[in-house]
Every structure is written in structure tokens, then in C-alpha cells.
Chains A and B, each alone.
Chain A
Amino acid sequence: MLDLLRIEYKKLTPYPTFWIIFGLFFLFTPFVFYGAGQIKFDAFPIDFATIYNFPNVWNIITYIASWFNLLIGMLLVIIVCNEFSFKTFRQQVINGHSKADFIISKILLIISFSLLSTLYLFFIGAFFGYISGSEASILTNTKYLLIYFIQSLGYMSVALILAIIIRSSAMSIILFVCSIFVESIIRLFVPEVLASYFPMKIISNLTPFPSPGGVQVSSINAVITDSISLNISIIVAIVYIILFWGFSYIILTKKDIN
């Protein structure tokens, strides 16, 4: 299994797009996070700088990073579609990989990307928390990181299945970025109980918009994402992720590799 992941990184480390997109993610996230803490409203007596403190830092930084997560999703779309357009997936099957090997490789890649970005957020958050001299424990509310990790898996799993169905980067990226909007339009036409369980809704709600000032979030369980509790959202998201992986494999086996 880890051999498969090693091969994936052998393909990726010389790939400029990989460095550019991760570079953007690594740069933008702390930059925007820092900027958010510098906001000052005279009329609104909240000290935004408290977002740097533990435990606020975890909620805010994962919320900000969740937007740049879409970038990593796009990277995944590009990586998967490249395998079709370069016909390298075909070649690797000819050389002795199975279609399952292909899916497993990409799933391992997704997990490693999510781990990488979550770990990065942990270090950035820890850095800001210590610098700001906060007294609370670093560990409080680190559950947000776990949720962010699941969300990251979720976005990339959507990216994976889209890329496998469509096979062309341009179309898949457009659909991936639009999927949130497309889905919200579809949601208008289904009963609300169902609508709140749609995949992009569930996944994007994992990192909720921080309550005003970011400081009032006291207990994670108090956070309500629409009508569904966070814990339910997590479970549903994990079910979706597994379904996306399974369907990606099924679709791949049904179609020819051209």
C-alpha cells in the first residue's frame, strides 16, 4: 500500500503545479488568518486579535483554511485528469496495476494531502496561540482540526469522483467549483429535511462560520449547522466519503480506459 503512495509522490514531486498549489495554500492561510486578527471596527467593540488565542484559533483557522481547501481539491482534479489525458493510467494498468490500485493510490494521496494540510494548520495555530500569549490549553477545541481533516477528505473525494466521471480537467474543475452552487440550486427543489443532507452542504458545514468575534464559541457541541448537529454531520460526511470512494471504483471498472 505504501508503495503505491511512494509512486504517487514520485510522480508529483517534480510537478510544478503541485508545488504552486500547496505553496498558495501554505502562504494564504496564515496570511489571511493574520489579517483577520488585525480588523478594527470602532462601532463594534470586539477585539479581533483574540482570534489568535487558544482555543479560538482552531475554529477560525480551520474556517479560513476550508476556503483554500478548494484549491487542494482542484489540484486533485488535475492530478487525476492528467492520468487520463496523458494516458498514464492506461499505461500503468498495462504495466501491471489494477484499477483498484489506481483508486487506492488516489485515496492514499487524498489522505496524505489532508494530513499534510491539517498538520500545517496545527503548527500555524500553535504558533499564533503561543505568540499571542494565550493562557488556555493548546488542546482545547483541537477537535476542529479533526473536523477540518474530514472536510478536506470530503472535498477531495468529491473531486476524485468528478474527475473519474468526466476525465477532462477543465470541465471537472468547473463542475467541482460550481458543485456548491449547483447543489444549492438542486436543494431548492427537494424537501428541507433531505436538502440539509446533501453532500456539499454537509461537507462545507463541517467548518461553521465562527460566531461574532470568534470568541463566543464555548463548546463545540453547541455549534449547530443548520438543523443538523455537528456530530451527525461528521457521520454523514464520512458515509459520503466512503460512498464516493466506492462509486469511483465501480465507475472505473465499468468504463474502458482509453
Chain B
Amino acid sequence: MEEILNINSISKRYGKVKALNNVSLQINRGEIYGILGPNGSGKTTTLGVILGVLNADSGSYCWNGKTPSKNDRKNIGSLLETPNFYPYLTARQNLSIACEVKEVVQSEVDRVLNVVDLINRADSKFKTFSLGMKQRLAIASALLGNPETLVLDEPTNGLDPQGIAEIRTIILDLAKNGKTIIMASHILDEVEKTCTHVAVLKLGNLLTYGPIQSVLNNQEQVLVVSENLDLLKLTLAQIDGVSNIKQIKDKVSLILAKGKDISYLNSALFDKGIAVSEIGVQDSDLEANFLELIK
């Protein structure tokens, strides 16, 4: 596995707010890495540091194993927080400037405008664009030069459902072509549908990270029903690998540790003399897990 980005215990505070607390992360080629967290959790700060616009208080990062330089950034397509363009210039003029900075051929302008479906508004001024169009232009700008690595901060921000679907398709297409994509989002659904890996941030702390399935779905939620729910709860508490016992209406929900399955639970209960009238795995609920993680 080829390492694209290495973030090494980065911390950053704004006055009293600790925006990032000792965050370390490694991203390899071909991964679609979601940085997931609620608003204010430090996603943009993380991306700002690795894109050279924010100075970290401590820690370091490197792209492709080298000390950071402006040339790394020329080969990364980035969108940070908001679409940033000259309002009095047209879409085409704005992208043309971005091409100059990135040292990319000017013919890229029309190509990327086509990709985001803005070609018919190419000569309209940026200030006349709707929020969604501005966001598309920002994505277009990130695509200039067809970079191997993309850093996208809330890429579907401000888009309508159709726009969201289109951008998702673009991202998945890029992923298919082996690009490495780092994508910040506060929307679980978005990360779940596009990413291969995820890092969960909360209040500047990296809670967990890894392949998406193992992070968001590593525990199975099981629902059990029996005649005496109080006795059931007491008994469950004694069984190895059972946690988070909660009563939900007439059922008891619990989390089963990795490697334990329903038949294990069923026989453990049977051994302790509990007759189970109903037992089943709850449909994997990533959202519940995410909410649990960031609680």
C-alpha cells in the first residue's frame, strides 16, 4: 500500500477552543477516506492544515512521504469549505486563473465545466450563480488537471437532491479510476454511500478510524423478547460479550461483541433457564452507531 498522506499528531487551538487535539491519520492510495463529524468537530481545520492555509500549533503532515511544498498542492484537487472565486469574473475566467496557478493546460477549463454541467453558464459572472452552481464550479476547479488526489470539504453542500446524486456519481467515477479522495462531511449517509474508509472526529478528537464497515458496523444490535423482561435483563447482564442492555418498549436491545452471534446468545440464555420467544438482529443501523460514537 502506497501512503499518500500522513498526518502526525496535529493539534490546533483557536483561543480557548481546541479545534484539533493530537490527530494522526494515514491515508493510502486509492482510498476514499471520509472525515465524518458533526459541525465544529474540526474537519475543515484538519483539511486547512494539510492544504497549507492553517498553521498547526504542533504536529506535522506529509504528502507522498515528502515534506510539504506548493508543488504537492498543484497536484491535488481541493475544495475547502466554500467556493472561493472572484465575483466579477466569469466561471471561465475564474477557472482559467486556477489553471495558471496549478500549471494545467487551459483546455481543462471546458472539460471540467462539462463534467459539472456548467458549460452553458461558462461566461456568466460568478456573482450571478446560485449556491448550488457555485458549489459545482468549486468542484470543477478541483477537477482541473485530473489530479490523482482530491480533497473535498463537504462537496455536496448547498446542492439539491439531484445535484447531490450527480456529485456522488462524479466522486464514485473518480474512485473507480483509482483516485485517492479525502472527503469531509457531517452527513453519515454521504460517507456511507461513497467512502471506503472513515475517520470520526468529535470536538477535535479522532474517535475512531479504519475501513468503513469495521468502524460503523462493528457491533451487532440484537433484540430479544421473553416473558419476564426484568429477569431477561438481569440474566443478559451476566452473559459474556453482551453490552448496552436497554429496554425498548416490549423488547430488550443489546449489543453483541464481535465474534459472538445469535445462536451463542440463544444457547447462553437457554443454559440460564430463560425461554426466548423472539430473537433477532436489528438491521445494521449505521446512523445509530455514528450517533453513539459522537455522543
Contact = CB atoms under 8 A, between A and B. Distances in A.
Contact of B88 (A15, A93, A95, A257): A15
A251 to B, nearest CB: 13
Interface of B: 48, 51-55, 70-71, 73-75, 78, 80, 82, 84-89, 93, 96-98, 100-103, 141
A82 B96 CA distance: 18
Nearest to A253: B55
Contact of B52 (A10, A87, A93): A93
17 contacts: A3-B100, A7-B97, A10-B97, A15-B88, A88-B85, A91-B85, A93-B73, A94-B80, A95-B78, A95-B102, A96-B75, A96-B101, A96-B102, A97-B70, A97-B101, A98-B70, A256-B54
B97 A93 contact: no
Contacts of A16: 88
B53 A93 contact: yes
Contact of A86 (B71, B80, B85, B98): B85
Contacts of B74: 95-96
A132 interface: no
A138 B281 CA distance: 96
A90 B80 contact: yes
Contacts of B73: 93-96
B93 A6 contact: no
| Main SS class of interface, A | helix
Contacts of B71: 96
B155 to A, nearest CB: 14
A82 B88 CA distance: 11
B53 A94 contact: yes
Contacts of A88: 84-86
A105 to B, nearest CB: 10
A7 B82 contact: no
Contacts of B102: 95-96
A90 B84 contact: yes
Interface string A81-121: 01000111011111111100100000000000000000000
Interface of A: 3, 6-7, 10-11, 14-16, 82, 86-88, 90-98, 101, 254-257
Contacts, number: 75
A87 B86 contact: no
Contacts of A7: 97, 100-101
Given A92-B101, A94-B52, A95-B78, A11 B70 contact: no
Contact of B78 (A10, A14, A82, A94): A94
A96 B51 contact: no
Given A11-B89, A14-B93, A96-B103, A87 B82 contact: yes
B129 to A, nearest CB: 14
A254 B54 CA distance: 10
Contact of B84 (A14, A87, A97, A254): A87
Nearest to A257: B53
A7 B75 CA distance: 19
B86 A11 contact: yes
Contacts of A95: 73-74, 78, 98, 101-102, 141
A3 to B, nearest CB: 7
Of B48, B54, B71, B100, the most chain A CB neighbours within 10 A belong to B100
A96 B82 contact: no
A1 B83 CA distance: 27
A86 B71 CA distance: 23
B160 to A, nearest CB: 24
Nearest to B70: A98
B146 to A, nearest CB: 14
A254 B85 CA distance: 24
Sorted nearest first, the 9 A-B pairs with minimum C-beta distance are: A96-B74, A87-B84, A91-B84, A257-B53, A95-B101, A96-B73, A98-B70, A94-B78, A256-B54
Q: Which of A92, A95, A98, A101 has the most CB of B within 10 A?
A: A95
B141 to A, nearest CB: 8
A84 to B, nearest CB: 11
Of the listed residues A16, A93, A254, A255, the one surrounded by the most CB atoms of chain B closer than 10 A to its CB is A93
Contacts of B70: 93, 96-98, 101
Contacts of B100: 3, 6-7, 10
Contact of A94 (B51, B86, B93): B51
Contacts of A98: 70
Nearest to B55: A256
A16 B86 CA distance: 13
B85 to A, nearest CB: 7
A91 to B, nearest CB: 4
A179 B53 CA distance: 30
Contacts of A254: 55
A3 B141 CA distance: 20
Given A90-B53, A94-B78, A95-B74, A14 B88 contact: yes
